[in-house]
Structure 1
Amino acid sequence: MLDISISGNAMQMAIVSLRPGQVVYSEAGKFLFSSADVVMETKLSQPSGGGQPGGGPAGGPAGGAGGLGGLLRGAMDAGKRMLAGESFAFCHFHSTGGDGLLALAGVLPGEMRVLELDGATTWFAEKDAFVAAEAGVNFDVAFSGLRQGFSGGEGFVLEKFTGRGSLIIAGAGNFIEINPADYGGRLKVDTGCVVAWDHNISYGIERVGALNRQGVMNAMFGGEGFNLATLSGNGQVILQSMTLGALAGALAKNAKRGDDTGPASLGGIFGGSRD
């Protein structure tokens, strides 16, 4: 397991003490800073479970000389990540000296969590949650079904994590960890609030009310759309307080105000003060 501390409040970051022999891989754009003895390499594949610098044994699929098989595997993995909207390649980090210092973070203001995988637990996450993991954690893409994905606007493409080691995820706003079994076994959640859940949880999509007057009113004017996510079972669920849709809407609204021109706006400094 990695030695990780979570630092910060409004926008947290993960500080990793990277010992010799340990390898961490992350999404592109999640790196903040490191000590001079930490080496970063960009590769198509995640490291092998061995956790050795360079992606495992010589000639392994994550190494630079993996042959045709390694190249094909890397291309397939990269293709699945691109379908999920993720970066084409992973950044690999290892220390060449003593304990190296490595800092990583998500891309939005919010919290981070370290999940420890024991080889028996599988975690699923929405496609923007992954920050980094150590080499023993396997990253994959899972598909939850076309109808469910198109209906929910979220969840068609999921990230799936198995194996052993530390997994770092991030979300927007604040986290709440909840077990549906403590509340009748089932939760209804805004699709944008779902961050991650373990394999004991079933994920689905349901319509908000019936197709009647009240259902249409809820969907059109309640601000939640026609569908909600459902999370059922006896396991761990991680939710976030800020939805990406709400954040994008707020930024777009205020950006439009700031771009107003003409005598009435008095420039960008007064652009948001006319309501």
Structure 2
Amino acid sequence: MRVHTRHTPNFGVARVFLNPGEAVQATGETMLASSYGVTETAPARGGVRTGRTGPSVFTAPGDGGWIDFAPVVPGDVYPLEFDGTTGWSVHRDALLVRPASVRHDQTWPQLQQLFGADSGFLEHYSGTGPLVLAAPGPAEQFELARGELVTVSPDYLLAYPDTVQCRLRAVDPSGAQSLRTGEGLALDFAGPGTVLVQARNRRLSRS
């Protein structure tokens, strides 16, 4: 899988080039166009579904193909490359396209320590290949040296690698807080590593 982006950072589109028979996951409403022969398998409809729409699986035909994906909210698209040695924690609303070679680690211990039994605003991924992220504003990054500290609002966070230490805390212990959205919370990071952020507030960009 290869990714080429265009119209960034304001109205980003990610063109995903697939090898013969290769597949990726993305929500169906983000598929803009594709080469002829690409098939889409919609998520199963059994049971009661709540929250965000489940992903479809897009599969290339025998001679390969391409798919254009565009985020629902205008903004940037960012291919995050996985090298097989380091996993990343990603904001659950930032994911645009996931290849089969990148795994969703649903029981990642560090996230369980952050959120406990609750379903938080972060998900962990590992493997190889490009995981395409979507941001309602330009993607930026903080390159942290060993021991260097930075505080980030969850509304602006895209992702951070396993090399970075993370602490979740309440901005005001007496105020409203949500582990699902990050409202009322702050993230303290310690290097070394890269913290990816976006230059627009995620929740306000949807209003």
Q: Amino acid of the residue matched to residue 87 of structure 1?
A: T
Corresponding residue of 2:179: none
Secondary structure of 2:193's aligned partner: coil
Corresponding residue of 1:163: 127
How far residue 200 of structure 1 moved from its aligned partner, in angstroms, is: 0.8
**Contact kept? 1:123, 1:160, Cα under 8 Å:** yes
Q: Amino acid of the residue matched to residue 2 of structure 2?
A: D
> Structure 2 CA distance, aligned partners of 1:95 and 1:174?
30
The 5 A counterparts of 1:1-275 are: 2-9=1-8, 10-43=10-43, 85-88=51-54, 90-141=55-106, 144=111, 156-181=120-145, 185-208=148-171, 227-248=185-206, 251=207
Q: Greater relative contact order: 1 or 2 (C-alpha under 8 angstroms, separation 6 or more)?
A: 2
Distance 1:162 1:226, change over 3 A: closer
Corresponding residue of 1:67: none
Secondary structure of 1:108's aligned partner: coil
Give the TM-score taking structure 1 as reference length.
0.61
Secondary structure of 2:205's aligned partner: helix
How far residue 16 of structure 1 moved from its aligned partner, in angstroms, is: 1.4
Equivalenced residues, count: 194
Q: Amino acid of the residue matched to residue 160 of structure 1?
A: H
How far residue 208 of structure 1 moved from its aligned partner, in angstroms, is: 4.3
Q: Amino acid of the residue matched to residue 121 of structure 1?
A: T
**Contact kept? 2:21, 2:62, Cα under 8 Å:** no
| Greater fraction helix | 1
Describe the superposition over 1:69-109 as per-residue Cα deviations: whole angstroms up to 9, x where unpaired: xxxxxx9xx99xx78x4433x31122224331201122222
> Structure 1 CA distance, aligned partners of 2:126 and 2:200?
27
| Greater fraction strand | 2
Corresponding residue of 2:180: none
Secondary structure of 1:21's aligned partner: coil
Q: Amino acid of the residue matched to residue 196 of structure 2?
A: I
Distance 1:185 1:43, change over 3 A: same
Runs of 5+ consecutive residues of structure 2 not aligned to the other structure: 176-182
Describe the superposition over 1:27-52 as per-residue Cα deviations: whole angstroms up to 9, x where unpaired: 342211112221111245xxxxxxxx
Secondary structure of 1:29's aligned partner: helix
When the two chains are superposed, the root-mean-square deviation of aligned CA atoms in Å is 3.0
> Structure 2 CA distance, aligned partners of 1:32 and 1:179?
33
**Contact kept? 2:22, 2:64, Cα under 8 Å:** no
Aligned identity (percent) is 23
Secondary structure of 1:236's aligned partner: strand
> Structure 2 CA distance, aligned partners of 1:18 and 1:3?
7
Q: Amino acid of the residue matched to residue 238 of structure 1?
A: L
Q: Amino acid of the residue matched to residue 140 of structure 1?
A: D
Describe the superposition over 1:155-196 as per-residue Cα deviations: whole angstroms up to 9, x where unpaired: 8242111112221111111111112227x6110112211111
Runs of 5+ consecutive residues of structure 1 not aligned to the other structure: 45-74, 217-224, 252-275
Structure 1 stretches of 4+ with a deviation exceeding 3 A read: 140-146, 206-211
Give the TM-score taking structure 2 as reference length.
0.79
